[in-house]
Chain A
Amino acid sequence: DTEVTQTPKHLVMGMTNKKSLKCEQHMGHRAMYWYKQKAKKPPELMFVYSYEKLSINESVPSRFSPECPNSSLLNLHLHALQPEDSALYLCASSPGPGRNTGELFFGEGSRLTVL
């Protein structure tokens, strides 16, 4: 079983809706990530949080807004999305700076459909 928990597993939303994806880990990891994955493609990095601070934003549109309330939680707020944003959104965590061996632990993902 994955130790990174994502909710909801499935989300359907309209283009005017506001929703949030949630991610939680209790492994004491200090780096957390959001990835977007389209069908039959590898995951694409969106954001990286390191010690609860946003350290990488891969030029993601502002309709995606990440938030890291504490070291165990990571949210992705969604607003005014487009149908092409439909994808599997993966959360991941790793031990963090200075101790990162490339070890990424992924959650099961949130399947997002934008109508």
Chain B
Amino acid sequence: KNQVEQSPQSLIILEGKNCTLQCNYTVSPFSNLRWYKQDTGRGPVSLTIMTFSENTKSNGRYTATLDADTKQSSLHITASQLSDSASYICVVSGQIYNQGGKLIFGQGTELSVKP
């Protein structure tokens, strides 16, 4: 069964600290993996997208890693800011079908950054 599991479910950190969010998946075949940030009551915004051949990708203070062998990804946030408080969703895309493949969403990690 195609699944995406994220950990932890929720996380509280102090402003300025670093944190790492985890995503494990069993989606096969695999096309790509994307991390989204979703503020409460708003639509998800893409942070990074990684394909099979990519190990690391950065977007400002966000760095995503992908190990396609172990089917694990992580999202590392450095020097956290209050505005980083949000839900972070890992989304895995299966093999491209005629309309682009099925997207499997993780349950998300709720990050709260405190002053």
Instruction: Name A's B-contacting residues (CB within 8 A).
Output: 2, 4, 6, 31, 40-43, 45, 48, 50, 55-56, 88, 90, 92, 94, 96-97, 100-109, 111
Contact = CB atoms under 8 A, between A and B. Distances in A.
B41 A88 contact: yes
A31 B107 contact: no
A43 B101 contact: no
Interface string B17-61: 000000000000001101010000111111001010000000000
Contacts of B110: 40
A50 B103 CA distance: 15
Contacts of B91: 102, 104
5 contacts: A31-B100, A45-B103, A56-B99, A101-B51, A106-B36
Interface string B74-115: 000000000000010101010010111101011110100000
B103 A104 contact: yes
B99 A31 contact: yes
A93 to B, nearest CB: 11
A42 B105 contact: yes
Nearest to B96: A100
Given A102-B49, A109-B42, A96 B100 contact: yes
A108 B42 contact: yes
Nearest to B51: A101
Given A42-B89, A42-B105, A97 B100 contact: yes
A41 B107 contact: yes
Contacts of A97: 98-100
